[in-house]
Homo-oligomer: A and B are copies of this chain.
Amino acid sequence: MKMLINVPETVVADALRGMAAAHPDLSVDVENRVVVRRDAPVAGKVGIVSGGGSGHEPLHGGFVGPGMLSAACPGEVFTSPVPDQMVRAAAAVDSGSGVLFVVKNYTGDVLNFDMAAELAEDEGIQVAKVLVHDDVAVTDSLFTAGRRGTGGTLFVEKIAGAAADEGMPLERVETIARQVSEASRSFGVALTAVSTPAKGSPTFDLPEGELELGIGIHGEPGRERRAMMTSREIADFAVAAILEDLQPRGPVLALVNGMGATPLLELYGFNAEVQRVLGERGVTVARTLVGNYVTSLDMAGCSVTLCEVDDDLLRLWDAPVSTPALRWGR
C-alpha cells in the first residue's frame, strides 16, 4: 500500500510539524506531542483535553480551539497516547478551574488516561473524566472491553467545549459531557480494510464483492461480513442497529461520517439515505454534519452517529466553535 510519508517511524511527528505550519492559532509541541490552543489557559474556564491514537484525523487535534478542545494528545498511529502527554496537556490548559478528560473507551485509552489523572491530581490539577462508548456494533458489552468510542466523541467534545466556554464549573461540564456521551450511538461499515504505516498493507482481506458491518476505527474487522450492499441498504441497516438500542424521543444531531477514503460525493448521497430512513422511523433531525471527521486512515466506508438532544444541548451544539476542522458562529 503506497503512502504519502517518509518513513513509518516519523509519521506522527511529521504531521504535527505540518499542523503547526498550517494553524498559527494552535501551539503544537512536536517533541512532547501535545496540541494546545494558543491562548490557553483561559482564565476561569474548564480545560477540555482529549487524545487517542493518530490516524483518526481531524479527531482530535483538528478539534482544538475556542469552543471545543483546549488540548489534544496524539498517540502513535492507532495507539493511545502515554500519560506524560496527558499530564502535560492538563498542566498547559488548567486555569485553576480544572480539566475534563474526554476518553474513548478502549483499554489503552482508559488505562493511560487513568494513570494521567492520578499524576495530574498529584500535581494539584482537578481532573474529571468522561468515557465515550457509543458504538452499538459491540454487543454483549459485559463480556467485552465494552462499546468502543467512535463518532460520539465529536459530539461530546463540541458540547463539552461549549459548556466550558460558557464558564460552567467542572462538575457541570462533566455532567453535560456524560449526558451527551450517554445519548450518542454509532454504527460503522467498511468497504475496504485499512493500511497502517507500520504494517504497510491492509490489516485484513476484504474482497471486492463484500463489506464489513459493525467496524470500529482501528482497522479491526467488524462483527459480520456480507455481500456488498447499496447505500440505501447500508443506511437502513446502520440506522436500524442504532434505533434498536436507543429510540430517541427528542430531536437528534446526526453525524454522517466518512472513514477517510470515501469521497464526499458518496457521503452526501449516503446522507440522503440516512435522512430518508430516519424520516420513515419518525426521528427528527435537528442538525446534520456530513464529512470525514472520525476516520480510520485510508479506510473506505462510513458511520452514522445519532445523539439525542434537548434545547440546552442543541444551544451548546450551535454555539460558536473555531477549530481547524469544525468552525461556525462568530
- Residue numbers of A with Cβ under 8 A of B are 1-7, 10-12, 14-19, 21-22, 54-55, 57-58, 62, 77, 191-192, 208-209, 211, 228, 230-232, 234, 256, 260-273, 275, 285, 288-290, 292, 295, 297-298, 300-302, 322, 327-328, 330
Known: A231-B14, A269-B11, A271-B18. A263 touches B55 (CB 8 A): yes
Across the interface, do B328 and A264 meet the contact criterion of CB distance under 8 Å?
no
Across the interface, do B4 and A266 meet the contact criterion of CB distance under 8 Å?
yes
Chain B positions within 8 Å of A266 at CB level: 3-5, 11, 15
In the assembled complex, the Cα of A5 lies from the Cα of B4 at a distance in Å of 27
Residue of B whose beta carbon sits closest to that of A207: B2
Chain B positions within 8 Å of A208 at CB level: 1-2
In the assembled complex, the Cα of A192 lies from the Cα of B3 at a distance in Å of 10
Across the interface, do B269 and A14 meet the contact criterion of CB distance under 8 Å?
yes
Contact of A15 among B234, B265, B285, B289 (CB under 8 A): B265
Across the interface, do A327 and B330 meet the contact criterion of CB distance under 8 Å?
no
**Can you add 9 more A-B contacts, CB < 8 Å, to A2-B300, A15-B268, A264-B292?**
A3-B191, A4-B270, A18-B270, A21-B272, A21-B285, A22-B290, A77-B265, A260-B263, A298-B300
Across the interface, do A19 and B191 meet the contact criterion of CB distance under 8 Å?
no
Specify the main secondary structure of chain A where it touches its partner.
mixed
- Taking the closest CB of chain B, its distance from the CB of A215, in whole angstroms, is 13
Subset of 29 A-B contacts with CB under 8 Å: A1-B208, A2-B191, A2-B208, A2-B228, A3-B191, A4-B191, A4-B270, A5-B231, A6-B230, A7-B230, A14-B269, A14-B273, A15-B266, A15-B268, A18-B268, A18-B269, A18-B272, A18-B273, A21-B288, A22-B268, A22-B289, A55-B263, A55-B265, A57-B264, A58-B264, A62-B264, A260-B264, A264-B295, A322-B328
Known: A22-B290, A261-B300, A263-B297. A269 touches B4 (CB 8 A): yes
Residue of B whose beta carbon sits closest to that of A271: B18
Across the interface, do A6 and B300 meet the contact criterion of CB distance under 8 Å?
no
